[in-house]
Structure formats: structure tokens, C-alpha cells
Amino acid sequence: MRRLIICCDGTWNTADQHTGGVPTPTNVAKLHSLVARTGHDGIEQIDYYRRGVGTSGGLLRRMLGGAIGLRLEDDIMSAYKFLAETYEPGDQIYLFGFSRGAYTVRSLAGMVSKVGLADLRPAHLSPYENSWEVVKRLMRTYQARKAGDEKAGLQKQFLEERPVSVQFHNETADIGFRFIGVWDTVGALGIPDDKGLLRLLLGDVLKHEFGDTTLGRNVKCARHALAMDERRKDFTPTLWTDWARGQDVEQRWFPGVHGDVGGSYADSGLGDLTLEWMLKEAQANGLALREISPGRMNPDAFARRHNSYLGWFRLRPTRPRAVPEVSEAAADVADWTSRTRFDASVIARHVTPPPGEKSYWPTHVLGVAQSTETIAAARKRWNATGIYMERGGRYRIKTKGQWQDASIPATADGANPGIYLGKIGYALAAVPELLRKAIRMRKGFACADVPFSRRIDGAPWFALIGAIANGQVTQTSEDEVSDHEYHCLGQEAEIAPSQSGYLYLFANDAWQMYGNNAGVLRVEVTRLS
């Protein structure tokens, strides 16, 4: 028996990357560097590292690789090829990945589960076969099975179509996926869903999606570190939502954005929190690591949180994450739906925010007949209220005040009636909105958007919208991100959340047009039942 360790890095990440001359390897690269050649038990360990998508090829390929996951299937196939050429019966497999590298290793496990593991060891491969071509063929088989074409997914058909057979290891259940450790899995690949017109015109041959969000039964133990504070919609995390009884699974929330949790910043106090956790979990599951010099890791719950909403990402939409209720009592299992929990660092930061942070995830859970007041600023695309609405509760929301959409006065009910020059924009927006409606009627385009459309269809321009952040990546036929729950509130409304989540408020404007807004509304929220 041996241990095979596969490490796949994140988007645009390499083991030797630098920021301002300072090395900034991610947690995947750090973990890979710590793998011992032999364990204390004498078991040999063989490791494999794959740099992140978007780090090879010309400038255009690197840009597209990072932006939309171009050629990500090459990463999956390369990892599969290493495994198929190296694996011997009885070996234990450890998979680690960050961001799209996390997607890669999870897809690798799924591919082995769906099509099996070919035996491509030199002594077992026919001289008439090319291992890379075999892997490409199996990738097409895997993608066809995910698309629902069962016939194309059968190993039997794959073998019968080839003049020389390819051997497979007997049972996928016998292949020892001992441990999967991932940091903030990003599953949104291909042309972003909100770019519906672009996807419609160009097609989406680049689109990759998990077959489902269920953890394969051939995985014994899985760990997932999640970023509390990432807002970029393109980085919506893909959680495991289902697994079998007896599988050891934990998904844990940590403070910080995507890169903080993945350890890709020079100031890595938050990243070291997740690395320390993952190293301990992997060691507890048999992985042998070399000793770390004292002072080389400095996990710090109060370290700096970085801003990931920079550069071209400022042109892209954001989306608050569906985080469970943050409270001192929630340090264990925080949410039974997604079965996630908070790391102790989240609670510590929540209770005692570091200097420079007035609060960290302030939370107000209303009891029956209790009320609280908050505000909604017209310029903010997401007004975080800190109010955590519970499934089964009923809430009344009353609003006072006025705000403005450029020169157009408005209340929570929407833009005031009357003739205003700015309403020409509303009339012009009818064209992209009709186009968006038509695109959304197509299968797989439910989240499609077209620029300069209102964010919420059917609600008046500049009406007050309440968003309950409870949408996750769910197991559907298209594996789309289920959107958050939206309500047109107006000056008074009663709502009953379908799932629990934090309440956010915003004016119903086009995403690109918040810069000319002004004013603040006062909002009272009362729990009725």
C-alpha cells in the first residue's frame, strides 16, 4: 500500500508566485511542500501538484482560463492520467484543491465514480494504446453521463468501440479515496450565467458543472473550508449537500474572502487558520507531513481581511453568501440544511472585532412581537441589515422616507408618478428586459441577465427590495446556483421566508446605475409569528 497525494491549485495560482517580491503560495502549494516522502509507518507517499487554471499558454488563454475556466478539463484529465498511471490496488488517495482546483479534484473523484479508473500503468497498457487519448475518451464519457446520456457513459460501450481493450480496476468502491480536503470550491465555470445574451450568441461549450453536489460513496472523509466574506458572484461556493451515513464530512466557515481562506495573500494570518485545520484533519486521516519550523505559521482570527472586489471584478455583480446565523451559541453545527459549522475564529471575531472593524457579522434574531429599525441607502447595491430571518416566522416591514433615482424622486413603492427626464432610461430599458425574459425561457438560462435591466422583474423601478440570503448551489438538472429569495417590500409588506437567511435591502435599479442614486429610507422590521 502507498499513499497518492494529488494537489490542484487555484485560479492563476502557482507554487512559486510572488506579490511585490514576497512569495505568496496558496495553502494547496504549502500543503504539497509539506508532504513527507515516507510516513512514520514506513508507507511510501507519492505526490502530484498541478498549477492553477489560467497559468499556462499565451496571454489570451491565461486570461480566459482565469475568467471562465478555459481548458479546465485539461487539469481534470492530467490528474486522472497521473492516478491511472500510478495507482496500484490497495493504494490510498488524498485529494486537495483550492477554488477551481477544488472543483478539479472533486470532479476527479466524480469521474472515477462515474466511469471507473482505467489501469494505465505501462505494464498493463497495450502498445497500441495512447494513455492520453484514453483519458480524453473517458472525459467525453464522463461529460456525456453528466449530461444524462447513459448509453454514452457505459464502460462497456467505451471498450467495445475500441479495437484493443483498456483494463479497469474492478470496483470503484474499492479505490481508496481516503481524504478530500478543499478550500472554497468554485463551481461557476464557463461564460457567467448572468451574461445570458453572450451565452446565447456564442453557446457555452466551455461550461462545466458538477454532475451533482452529492459526495461520492467512495470517499471516506471530506473537509471543506469556506469563506464567510467573499461577495463576488462568480465565486459562489459549491457545498456538498448530501452524503451517505458513515461518511465523515465537515464543511467549516472561516473569516475572510476567497483568497484569505485559500492562503494566497502575503499577510496570511486568516489563511493559516484554514491551513492549520486542514493539516490536522489530513494527519488524523493518515497523511504523513514533515515538521513545520516554529513561527512559520501564524494563524490569527483577527488578521486583516482583504478586499477581493478589485480590478475587472468591479465590473461584475456581487452576491452575499448564504451564511447561517452567527452567534456564540452557533459554534457547533451552524446550519442543519447544509450541515456546515463555524470555526471558533468566526465566533471570536464576532464577539470581539479587531481594531478597525466596528462589528463583524452583527446579528439580530427577532422574537415574536419584537421590532428593530434599520436603513436602506439608495446607492448601496446590498444594504446589510444584520437581521437574521428564520424559516417559519412571519415578518412585517414598514418603510418611511424618500430617495432618488438620479433626478426622479421615489418612495419604497417605486419612482413617483409624473413626467421626469430620467424616465427615458426606464423606457429604453424595456428592450434589454424583453430580451432577458426571452432568454430566461430557455432551459439552463434561469439566472441569465442583460445589462441595464432592473434587478428584479415585475417590481417597479426603484421599489424597495428585500433579499433573504438563503440560496445555495443545489442538486438540479442544470446544477445552477439557486438564487436568493427576493420580495418587493414597498412601504409595507408581510413576508414569510422559505428558508432562513440574513436580510439585505436595495433599490430596484439596473446594476450599472447605482452611482447616480441618493437618499436613505428608514425601515422597521417586526416579527409577527
Q: Tens digits of per-residue pLDDT, 359-410?
A: 999 999 999 999 999 999 999 999 999 999 999 999 999 999 999 999 999 9
Considering the domain architecture, whether residues 474 and 401 belong to the same structural domain is answered as yes
- Please state, in angstroms and rounded to a whole number, the distance separating the CA atoms of residues 403 and 521: 7
Considering the domain architecture, whether residues 183 and 309 belong to the same structural domain is answered as yes
**Residue-level pLDDT at 17:** 84
Considering the domain architecture, whether residues 196 and 269 belong to the same structural domain is answered as yes
- Look up the CATH number of the domain holding residue 371: 2.60.120.430
- Cell (9 digits) for 118: 482505467
Residue 440 pLDDT > 90, yes or no? no
Of 316, 194, 181, 192, the C-alpha closest to 251 is 181
Task: Give the single-character DSSP code of 15.
Answer: T
Residue where a domain stops, chosen among 320, 349, 378 = 349
**Residue-level pLDDT at 188:** 53
Considering the domain architecture, whether residues 295 and 419 belong to the same structural domain is answered as no
Please give the residue that has the higher pLDDT: either 444 or 242.
242
| β-bridge pairing 492-495 and 395-400 | antiparallel
Mean pLDDT over 191-196 rounds to 56
- Cell (9 digits) for 26: 496558496
For the chain, the C-alpha Rg in angstroms (whole number) is: 25
130 found inside a domain: no
Judge whether 516 and 497 are in contact, CB under 8 Å: no
59 found inside a domain: yes
Residue where a domain stops, chosen among 321, 349, 377 = 349
**Residue-level pLDDT at 439:** 85
Residue 512: Cβ-neighbour burial (10 angstroms; 0-12, 13-18, 19+) = exposed
Considering the domain architecture, whether residues 464 and 391 belong to the same structural domain is answered as yes
Q: For CA atoms 209, 211, 212, 218, give the dihedral sign.
A: negative
Distances (CA, A) of 119 to 93, 122, 129, 144: 15, 9, 12, 21
152 found inside a domain: no
Q: How many residues does the chain have?
A: 529
The pLDDT confidence band at residue 337, using thresholds 50, 70 and 90, is: low
The pTM for the full model equals 0.90
Residue 460 pLDDT > 90, yes or no? yes
Mean pLDDT over 167-186 rounds to 82
65 found inside a domain: yes
Mean pLDDT over 517-521 rounds to 98
**Residue-level pLDDT at 151:** 45
**Residue-level pLDDT at 478:** 43
H/E segment holding residue 144: helix 131-146
The per-residue b/e assignment along 7-43, b for 16 or more CB within 10 angstroms, e otherwise, is bbbbbbbbbebeeeeeebbbbbbbbbebbbeebeeee
**Residue-level pLDDT at 142:** 81
**Residue-level pLDDT at 265:** 94
Please give the residue that has the higher pLDDT: either 310 or 329.
310
Q: For CA atoms 500, 505, 509, 515, give the dihedral sign.
A: negative
Furthest C-alpha separation in the chain: 81
Considering the domain architecture, whether residues 322 and 407 belong to the same structural domain is answered as no
Considering the domain architecture, whether residues 345 and 406 belong to the same structural domain is answered as no
- Of 97-101, 169-173, 179-183, the range with the lowest mean pLDDT is 169-173
85 found inside a domain: yes
Strand, coil or helix: what is 103? helix
**Residue-level pLDDT at 477:** 36
Torsion of CA 190, 191, 196, 197, to 10 degrees: -130
Mean pLDDT over 50-75 rounds to 68
**Residue-level pLDDT at 171:** 60
**Residue-level pLDDT at 481:** 54
Considering the domain architecture, whether residues 319 and 343 belong to the same structural domain is answered as yes
Considering the domain architecture, whether residues 344 and 371 belong to the same structural domain is answered as no
H/E segment holding residue 75: helix 72-86
3-state secondary structure 267-284: CCHHHHHHHHHHHHHHHH
Angle of helix 269-284 relative to helix 27-34, nearest 10 degrees, comes to: 40
Mean pLDDT over 41-69 rounds to 75
- Look up the CATH number of the domain holding residue 47: 3.40.50
**Residue-level pLDDT at 327:** 87
pLDDT in tens, 205-231: 445 555 556 788 889 999 999 999 999
Number of domains in the chain: 2
% of the chain at pLDDT higher than 70: 83
94 found inside a domain: yes
Torsion of CA 6, 12, 13, 17, to 10 degrees: 150
Q: For CA atoms 256, 257, 263, 265, give the dihedral sign.
A: negative
pLDDT in tens, 270-284: 999 999 999 999 999
> Which residue matches cell numbers 513527507?
36
- Of 123-127, 201-205, 477-481, 503-507, the range with the lowest mean pLDDT is 477-481
The pLDDT confidence band at residue 53, using thresholds 50, 70 and 90, is: confident
**Residue-level pLDDT at 162:** 38
Task: Give the single-character DSSP code of 473.
Answer: B
Residue where a domain stops, chosen among 349, 382, 399 = 349
Considering the domain architecture, whether residues 490 and 438 belong to the same structural domain is answered as yes
Residue 187 pLDDT > 80, yes or no? no
- Of 43-52, 273-282, 392-401, 472-481, the range with the lowest mean pLDDT is 472-481
The pLDDT confidence band at residue 39, using thresholds 50, 70 and 90, is: very high
409 found inside a domain: yes
Judge whether 478 and 443 are in contact, CB under 8 Å: yes
Identity at 444, one-letter amino acid code: G
Strand, coil or helix: what is 245? coil
The partner residues of 46 in beta bridges, in order of sequence, read 4
Q: What is the mean pLDDT of the chain?
A: 86
Which residue segment(s) compose the domain that 377 sits in? 364-527
- Please state, in angstroms and rounded to a whole number, the distance separating the CA atoms of residues 367 and 340: 24
Considering the domain architecture, whether residues 392 and 333 belong to the same structural domain is answered as no
Residue 474 pLDDT > 60, yes or no? no
> Which residue matches cell numbers 428584479?
456
Please give the residue that has the higher pLDDT: either 364 or 58.
364
**Residue-level pLDDT at 23:** 87
DSSP 332-379: SEEETTTTEEE-HHHHHHHHSPPTT-S-SS--B-PPTT-EEEEEEETT
150 found inside a domain: no
Residue 14 pLDDT > 90, yes or no? no
- Of 26-40, 65-79, 239-253, 319-333, the range with the lowest mean pLDDT is 65-79
Considering the domain architecture, whether residues 498 and 427 belong to the same structural domain is answered as yes
Residue 148 pLDDT > 50, yes or no? yes
Give the best-scoring range by mean pLDDT among 97-111, 148-162, 178-192, 335-349: 97-111
**Residue-level pLDDT at 449:** 83
**Residue-level pLDDT at 411:** 98
